[in-house]
Amino acid sequence: MQQSGLREFRTLIPYLKKYRVPYVWGFFFLVVVDGAQAVIPQFIRAAVDIIALESFEWLRVLQLCLGMLSVMALVCLGRFLWRYFIHGSSRRIETELRDKLFAHLLSLSYDFYQTHKIGDLMARAINDIGAVRNALGWGLVTLVDGTIMALAILVIIFVQDPRTALFCIIPLPFITIVMLVFGKAMGRRFHRAQETYSAMNNTVQETFAGIRVVKSFVKEWWAVEKFTKANEDYRDANMSLVKLYGAFFPFISFLAGLTTVLLLFAGGRRVVMGYLSPGELVALFSYLQMLIWPLMGAGFMVNMIQRGATSMGRINELLKSEASIRSPAKLPEPLMPQDFDKQETSIELRRLSFSYSPAENAPPVLDTISLSVPRGSVLGILGRTGSGKSTLLKTLMRMVDPPPGTVFIKGRDVRDWDLGELRRLFGVSPQDSYLFSDTIKNNIGYGAREAEAELDSLASAALISALDRDLEGFSRGWDTLIGERGLTLSGGQKQRVAIARALLPSPEILVLDDAFSAVDAETEKRILTNLLRERQGKTTIIVSHRVSTLSRADMVAVLDRGRIDELGKPRELLTAGRFFARIAELQQLGDTADFSSDGEGAYG
């Protein structure tokens, strides 16, 4: 086994220390079992010698049988105990390691998931951690058990007849050489097998997550072909491992079997010459048969430890990943509610420029944006696809990291906020209305700050988002189960559930990112009327391509190529004759949009 591969297990040292007592007890009972097994051939030796060399005595044979039964009972009890302690500990470590990995993945930043596929992460969290558990269970058992059994048996047979033992162990050095050669090759091939498993898992995850698209385009055949290719790659990688694995164990068995042939040749002569009794020869046969397990176990041990090291390396890759966006090491004094009340500005952008690429000459996604959003106002954002609208929203919550001194919330630079405290100020209904495979109640209640939202709060959020009338049509009302990603709901219903979820905690800043695209005009008007009435004194940001939606805003920012191209009240932008006005004309809403006569928005 490669030393560099074994170094991956250093991550597990704290867990091994934590469970050192159960492991010690487990290895203690393992040694007891090995010792008891080493005694059994001595009972057989005595029994055979009684039959072959002495007068047959039932009482003596009965005593030997009872003695063997007692030892076998001890072996049975000991095997249960070492399995309980060792395998129980490996299962507990597996659980804690998976919890640690899951929590770590949740702590990583948004950009991590743009470069890592979900199927691969699932494979590492399930399949790879299972391989680590096998290494900490069966791998350690075969290592300790094989070493103790092999040493004990070698000592016993050398004490019993050194010349015969020396002749019989000739194949053992070759077994060691085979283990070293095969172990290195197994590690490489297992790593390849795990990678192809991740790729296949990712194919399955993507296919089923996008099943609507697959069926809409009648692309089932394409999905089958893609999965078949991934499945065949996984098969080929495993077959490569199986071929090596299949050659390894028969060869080990052959070398182990040679010891029996050599014993038959050398030991038989010693019995004929009178140096060994028949019982001693039978005992030697028994010991050599017992020696086959440590030799075979060495193969299992190499395989499992190598697999565990490879898998632990893949897990460590994730555990070593660090969040690119973190709370500051030293947080300023927390802002009190009265401090919030003193702030007239909710959001302020000061010459904000941002690019996803670290290259100096990369074109910015946002370019020197300056904007001030007063407390309690409604900001509308309009812009072509790719103009930077979603990126702008991400900088507010530090989903992406803006430069220092460019984005301020409540008068404080977002980089000086604790991430959790900052993001709790926001309620977001994103473009992609992601819903969980759960009940309507739990999906809306997911936005609650406390463990479980009260039904009155849920009903209020549903009323504002115009979801209340749909609840009556659902088979089980609040407890209606929806499919994965809201599969059983219409696009408009999904968006309204997402809006209700964002509204539930009554956030300081509500962000509706194209949240009305699947909602009809009448329902949209009802939602906006309810929403603006209920959110008096709190800030709302509405991103939309509909002028009718933005007509209720106090101020509208029109983005173009990362810059603010237009900024003003909806009525002012309509008369300016630029992009906002052209969009209004194209949508044929200029005559019906709800603009106030004095040019002010909903809050006047």
CA dihedral for 374, 380, 386, 390, sign (positive or negative): positive
Q: What is the pLDDT of residue 226?
A: 87
* Residue 483 clears pLDDT 90, i.e. is over it: no
Q: Percentage of the chain with pLDDT > 90? A: 23
* Residue 603 clears pLDDT 50, i.e. is over it: no
Q: What is the pLDDT of residue 344?
A: 66
Q: What is the pLDDT of residue 604?
A: 30
Q: What is the pLDDT of residue 69?
A: 92
Which has the higher per-residue pLDDT, 378 or 58? 378
In degrees, to the nearest 5, what angle opens at C-alpha 160 toward C-alphas 158 and 162?
40
Alpha-carbon Rg for the chain, nearest whole angstrom, is: 36
* Residue 405 clears pLDDT 70, i.e. is over it: yes
Q: What is the pLDDT of residue 595?
A: 45
Q: What is the pLDDT of residue 265?
A: 80
Q: What is the pLDDT of residue 98?
A: 92
Express each pLDDT in 219-241 by its tens digit. 788 888 888 998 999 899 889 88
Express each pLDDT in 202-218 by its tens digit. 888 788 777 767 877 77
Name the pLDDT band for 602 (thresholds 50, 70, 90): very low
Express each pLDDT in 121-158 by its tens digit. 888 888 899 989 999 998 899 888 888 888 888 888 88
Which of 276-290, 310-324, 353-367 has maximum average pLDDT?
310-324
User: Are the C-beta atoms of 431 and 495 separated by less than 8 Å?
Assistant: no
Q: Which two tokens stand for residue 432?
A: 């992609």
Q: What is the pLDDT of residue 21?
A: 95
592-603: average pLDDT: 41
Any residues with CB less than 8 A from the CB of 373 and at least 6 apart, and which?
345, 346, 347, 348, 379, 539, 541, 555
Q: What is the pLDDT of residue 596?
A: 44
Q: Look at 28-32, 144-148, 183-187 and tell me which has the smallest mean pLDDT.
A: 183-187
Express each pLDDT in 303-342 by its tens digit. 788 888 888 988 999 999 988 888 887 776 665 555 555 5
* Residue 515 clears pLDDT 70, i.e. is over it: yes
DSSP per-residue letters across 526-564: HHHHHHHHHTTTSEEEEE-S-HHHHTT-SEEEEEETTEE
* Residue 31 clears pLDDT 60, i.e. is over it: yes
E strand or H helix at 500: helix 491-503
Q: What is the pLDDT of residue 342?
A: 54
User: Are the C-beta atoms of 43 and 50 separated by less than 8 Å?
Assistant: no
Q: Look at 99-103, 185-189, 421-425 and tell me which has the smallest mean pLDDT.
A: 185-189
Express each pLDDT in 419-458 by its tens digit. 888 988 999 988 878 888 788 888 888 877 765 667 788 8
Q: What is the pLDDT of residue 180?
A: 67
Q: Look at 34-48, 206-220, 572-586 and tell me which has the smallest mean pLDDT.
A: 206-220
Dist. CA 361–CA 161, nearest whole Å: 81
Residue-wise burial string across 428-447, b where 16 or more C-beta atoms lie within 10 A, e elsewhere? bbbbebebeeebbbbbbbeb
Nearest partner of 496 among 516, 469, 520, judged by Cα: 516
504-524: average pLDDT: 87
- When the pLDDT of each residue in the chain is averaged and rounded to a whole number, the result is 83
Q: Which two tokens stand for residue 519?
A: 């909602």
Give phi and psi for 486, each to the nearest 5.
70, 35
Q: Look at 24-38, 82-96, 263-277, 363-377 and tell me which has the smallest mean pLDDT.
A: 263-277
Q: Which two tokens stand for residue 270?
A: 């010693």
Express each pLDDT in 63-93 by its tens digit. 888 988 999 999 999 999 999 999 999 999 9
Nearest partner of 19 among 71, 75, 86, 79, judged by Cα: 86
- Domains along the sequence of the chain with CATH: 3-319 (1.20.1560.10), 428-506 (3.40.50.300)
DSSP structure class, residue 29: H
CA dihedral for 40, 43, 47, 50, sign (positive or negative): positive
Which of 44-58, 150-164, 184-198 has maximum average pLDDT?
150-164
Express each pLDDT in 251-282 by its tens digit. 777 877 787 788 778 878 777 777 778 888 88
Any residues with CB less than 8 A from the CB of 443 and at least 6 apart, and which?
435, 436, 482, 486, 497, 501
